[in-house]
Structure 1
Amino acid sequence: MSLTLSRIRAVNAVASGGSYASAARTLAISQQAVARHVKELEAEYGVRLFDRKNGVLSPTPLCSDLCDVAERMAEAERTATRLLTRHNTLLNGRLKIGLGNSMPGMALIARFLKQHPSIEVAVETGSHERITRAVLTREVDIGVLPDVPEDGRFRRALLARQNVVAIVHPDSPLSRETSVTCERLTSEPLIFRTKGSSTQRVVDRAFRLAGFEPAPLLTLDTRDAVYEAVVNGLGVGFMWRFGTARTDIVHRITVSDMQRQYEEVVFAQADERSLLLDAFFATVEDFKAGAGVLLEP
């Protein structure tokens, strides 16, 4: 026995229109096809779905119950269609974006929403490792991260170039410095990020190349946690230079061993193509045109 969507639609259309002809016009199929769907369903299940009264096909009580189910199925179809199409429309579409740093990704999203205010944007934040994995598993549509590998898996667009800097409390003696070395930092209480962080990879590499392996005072899992630890005078932290738009008491200091510029890129799976993705990548170019300082080498 086959209870197909086509048969359910036919029954519902006949119940609504009162005839095979009306149902055929609604479904844009032949009258014979509608009649066949109904009669085959009645024969296979041994039921009667319609009574003919004064030339009109009236649903039986069983058919009315079936039509209630059909309406719920039709709404589920409409919901499924909306889910499938909203990623490829600029009208009430939906985009999920993964950020490793709040900035400059949030500024880019703000520009995108200004251009496309009807788009629903969901933002997920996390480590470099977490966001890269989320793009690969399609948990997010687009990622914004520094130091993304160049390979065939990704469609990429350069957003900014930036390096990692030390951040210190204004009461720290380091706050009067414009540049420090890794060697100088080893005498300070250090605040590190957990493994998987792009920031921490740069920090670990710089200390290792300078010949040091310092033990941190604290190891924290988010950039915001590191920032707040520094605000509270717990030690010296590290962040991407444009990692936040906050301009409060924390001082950014160049680390001479960490001056290499890394590219912050917008990336998606190479085989993902849609109007929404194209619009977001177009916004990247528009954003860069108005934020040239972020692209200075």
Structure 2
Amino acid sequence: MALSLTRIRAVNAVATAGSYAGAARQLGISQPAISQHIKGIEEEFGVRLFQRRNGHFHPTPLCTELCDAAERMVEAENAATRILNRQNTLLDGRISIGLGNSMPGMALIALFNKRYPGISISVETGSFEEITRAVIARRVDIGVLPNVLDDGRFRRELLVRQQVVAIAHPDSELAHLRSLTCQQLMQAPLIFRTKGSSTQRIVDRAFRAAGFEPAPLLSLDTRDGVYEAVANGMGVGFMWREGTGRTGGILRIPVRDMDRLYDEVVFMPQDEDGLLSRAFFATTRAFWAASQLE
């Protein structure tokens, strides 16, 4: 026995209007459709929903109880609609962003917030693999990562082009050099990221191409951990050049074996679309255009 929300609405409308005609006007459907919904419920469940007195339909006690449940169902439906519509309003919507690097993604979010201050923004951070999985699983609406494959799964918008650099403490023996090679880096204690990091993949590739297999002093699972280890003078680490807004005297030194530029992009599943995502992509285009004027 099916009891759909449409049939429940018909019951509630008749109870409110007192007639099939009034319920039909209220719901914007035909009077025969209202009659069919009411009679269908009464026949299928063997109940009486209304008593007719003086030309009006009066709900039975059972019908009154059913109408109370109907109102709760309608409230739940309206709440669900509001949740879905939050993805399509620039006044008080919500959007979730997955960041692989704090920067330049956070600068982009700041620009988006300036343009649309009413939008609530949640941010998830993680490795390249973690953020990619979050976007695919729709756990976040949009991802911001470098070196995302253009394989047809995602809509993409260019945010910035950047390279991986070495980061060193000012007191490091390598601090006076304007650029480095993998051979020179083999003489320093190295701080690596764990697997799953886009930065580490590029570092590993560069050392292999140069014929080296370094044994790092530390392998850390976050970019902040690498940065803090370098800041404490433990060795030389690696990061994307624009990967953080921190200063603090930590040096960013180009590595000649890692001089290729990679695209950092904003991306989302190809089959997703909405007002908020379009606004975020437009903000990304504005961010890229402004960076070209600097």
With the shorter chain as reference, the TM-score category is over 0.9
Counterpart CA distance in 1 for 2:94 and 2:63 is 38
Deviation string 1:121-154 (CA, Å, 9 cap, x unpaired) is 2221111112222222322222111111122222
1:12-31 to 2 correspondences below 5 Å = 12-31=12-31
CA drift at 1:264: 0.8
Identity %: 67
Question: 1:108 aligns to what?
Answer: 108
Question: 2:222 aligns to what?
Answer: 222
Q: Is 1:197 the counterpart of 2:174 in the alignment?
A: no
Question: 1:173 aligns to what?
Answer: 173
CA drift at 1:287: 0.9
Question: 1:182 aligns to what?
Answer: 182
Q: Which moved more, 1:205-214 or 1:273-282?
A: 273-282
Give RMSD over aligned pairs. Answer: 1.8
Counterpart CA distance in 1 for 2:195 and 2:169 is 24
Deviation string 1:44-73 (CA, Å, 9 cap, x unpaired) is 111122233444433222222211211121
Question: 1:151 aligns to what?
Answer: 151
Aligned amino acid, residue 176 of structure 2? R
2:260 aligned counterpart, secondary structure: coil
2:174 aligned counterpart, secondary structure: helix
Question: 1:78 aligns to what?
Answer: 78
Q: Is 1:213 the counterpart of 2:195 in the alignment?
A: no
- Using structure 2 for the length normalisation, give the TM-score: 0.93
Counterpart CA distance in 2 for 1:28 and 1:150 is 48
CA drift at 1:21: 2.4
- Using structure 1 for the length normalisation, give the TM-score: 0.92
CA drift at 1:38: 1.4
Question: 1:244 aligns to what?
Answer: 244
Aligned amino acid, residue 67 of structure 1? C
CA drift at 1:230: 1.4
CA drift at 1:237: 1.1
Counterpart CA distance in 2 for 1:23 and 1:94 is 36
Question: 1:43 aligns to what?
Answer: 43
2:150 aligned counterpart, secondary structure: coil
Question: 1:141 aligns to what?
Answer: 141
1:106 aligned counterpart, secondary structure: helix
CA pair 40-59 structure 1, distance change in 2 beyond 3 A: same
Question: 1:62 aligns to what?
Answer: 62
Counterpart CA distance in 2 for 1:110 and 1:175 is 32
1:245 aligned counterpart, secondary structure: coil
Question: 1:87 aligns to what?
Answer: 87
Counterpart CA distance in 2 for 1:143 and 1:254 is 27
Structure 1 unaligned runs (5+)? none
Structure 2 unaligned runs (5+)? none
Counterpart CA distance in 2 for 1:271 and 1:2 is 33
Question: 2:33 aligns to what?
Answer: 33
Runs of 4+, deviation exceeding 4 Å: none
Counterpart CA distance in 1 for 2:16 and 2:232 is 69
Aligned amino acid, residue 210 of structure 1? A
2:175 aligned counterpart, secondary structure: helix
